[in-house]
Amino acid sequence: MAIKKKKSVSKSSSNGNRPRTTTTHVAADAFVRPPKGNSANLRTYSIPDTRLEHPNLSVRQSMEKDGHVRYEVTGNLDAPVPPIRDSKYLGRQQCIEIYRFMLLNRKMEVALENLYKQGKVVGGVYFGLGQEACSCASAYALDKDDWFAPMIRNQGSLLVRGFAARDTMMQYMAKADSPTRGRDGTSHFGDIEKRNMVSPISMLGDLIPVLSGVALGARLQSRNIAVMTYIGDGGQSTGVTYEGINFAAVQNLGLVLFIESNLWAYSTPSEMQYRCQDLAERAIGYGIPGVIVDGTDACQVYDAAREAVERAHAGEGPTLIEAKMMRMKGHAIHDAAAYVPKPMFDFWKKRDPIARFENYLVKEKKWLTAKENAELIADVERVIEEEREIAVNSPMPTPESAEGGVYCEDGCHEIKPKYGMPKVKKGTASFKQTEAAVHLK
């Protein structure tokens, strides 16, 4: 992976009308800073791009007569589906393991959708449909001592790092046995003791400086670790993203940042989010290696992640990996994504990461027979059903339990929970409600 002088500029980009540069794959250790003080020369750069296809779809906004905004997609919607690229590192067993995690990821999310429809989920549900390769193969590249922080679409990363599907299910149902004991209805949980996982932070971009800080902490203990996190094509626009990456860059910290370039940020298409060709180019400005991968190809995701993890372990600093794919559902369960042009879904459905990986393992590599594959799928379904059953049968937390786990329970602090009357103005409706509630007690 590297930034290197490039030669040609041509074609259109995967994300719209931005021109795309053709690139050559460059090894990680080939990263070189461009020479300084050579202002007479025109400096050009390239970004390695391991994709086997460069979709040329473009989304355009148009205004209907009734004033409604619509999006239209143009480009080669019938382009042939690319094959999976052979991994430089993964063997048969590892590929099958990643494939199994991807299946678990998807089937867990189908179960979550059903739980939501049954009224058992207390808030919303977020999905990583179409992004399973990115979540699972990236986390698979981490070593035990490395750290990670997923975002809402990376529920597959949790499975790879040792969480059970029931943990995520119980969390959404706010059950007593959930990782936060029913205190949060979505994904705000971590595990800093066993799994080196920082809890997702909803403020987009904020995980980047936090993870950089984790790497700095390890550095102060004289260890070089990899710290992996994710940010969307929308979230990367935030100021804190810049600050976090820049800090990791100047401190040479082992940040492995995945930009999940899934073409939408809620209802904003990537064409209206940024103007550069590809987001991996931002790496040039930070002075760090950047690479583009097909986020629907588990082998490409793994290889880029593994190389970045190895750079981190060697103390060579951060890497930015742009994973190109498509968010195949709405932002969350409440969003039907009616604003997404249907042909765009059809195009990316043909690039389904699981179907293609299955085809690769069964038909191309012949690493799984049809029978073994059917057994593996049946086993994943059985596991998810068992996990769902356990999650549903977990009790709701008792009201008193809200008091625990908030303050230190080791006896070293004398901080007692203190309950009192909410401060409300006399005579207002909320004052009356409060009075009535107190009276009822």
Ligand X SMILES: Cc1ncc(C[n+]2csc(CCOP(=O)(O)OP(=O)(O)O)c2C)c(N)n1
Residues in contact with ligand X by the rule CB under 6 A: 153, 202-204, 232-235, 238, 260, 262, 264-266, 327, 331
Decide: is 232 part of the binding site for Mg ion (CB under 5 A): yes
The CB-of-207 to Mg ion minimum distance in angstroms stands at: 15
- Comparing CB distances to Mg ion, the nearer of 156 and 317 is 156
Q: Facing residues of 260 across strands?
A: 232, 323
**Least distance from Mg ion to the Cβ atom of residue 235, Å:** 7
204 binds, among ligand X, Mg ion, none (CB under 5 to 8 A by kind): ligand X
Find, among 208, 136, 65, 66, the residue nearest to 357 by Cα: 136
Helices marked H in 163-238 — which ranges? 165-172, 207-220
Structural contact between residues 333 and 113, judged by C-beta atoms closer than 8 angstroms: yes
Interatomic CA distance for residues 303 and 307, integer angstroms: 6
Q: Alpha-carbon distance 428 to 25, whole Å?
A: 67
1-9, 149-157, 206-214, 234-242 -> range binding Mg ion (CB under 5 A) = 234-242
Distance, CA of 374 to CA of 391 (rounded, Å): 26
Q: How far is the CB of 262 from ligand X (least distance, A)?
A: 5
Token pair, residue 259, equals: 């930009």
| Beta carbon of residue 230, minimum distance to ligand X (angstroms, whole number) | 8
Neighbours of 19 (CB within 10 A): 10
Indicate the residue among 163 and 258 with the shorter CB distance to Mg ion.
258
Interhelix angle 92-117/132-140, rounded to 10 degrees, is 130
Among ligand X, Mg ion, none, residue 203 binds (CB under 5-8 Å by kind): ligand X
238 binds, among ligand X, Mg ion, none (CB under 5 to 8 A by kind): ligand X
Nearer CB in complex with Mg ion: 16/232: 232
Which of 233, 278, 307, 352: binder of Mg ion (CB under 5 A)? Answer: 233
Single out the residue of 112, 170, 265, 292 in contact with Mg ion (rule: CB under 5 A).
265
Q: Which does 311 bind (CB under 5 to 8 A by kind): ligand X, Mg ion, none?
A: none
262 binds Mg ion (CB under 5 A): yes
Q: Which two tokens stand for residue 285?
A: 């400005």
CB of 342 to Mg ion, least distance (A): 19
Q: Assess 134 for contact with Mg ion (CB under 5 A).
A: no
Least Cβ distance, residue 95 to ligand X (angstroms):
25
Instruction: Say if CB 112 and CB 172 are below 8 A apart.
Output: yes
Element (H, E) at 419: none
CB of 264 to Mg ion, least distance (A): 5
Residue 304: C-alpha distances to residues 87, 104, 200, 325, 327 (Å): 10, 23, 23, 15, 21
Q: Select from ligand X, Mg ion, none the partner in contact with residue 324, using the beta carbon and a kind-dependent cut-off of 5 to 8 Å.
A: none
Q: Which is nearer to ligand X, 12 or 236 (CB)?
A: 236
Pinpoint the alpha helices (H) of 32-131: 92-117
Among 43, 44, 71, smallest CA distance to 59 is for 71
Nearer CB in complex with ligand X: 197/265 = 265
Q: Name the minimum Å distance from CB 35 to ligand X.
A: 35
Q: Specify the residue, 232 or 318, whose C-beta has the smaller distance to Mg ion.
A: 232
List of residues 6+ apart from 276 with CB closer than 8 A: 18, 282
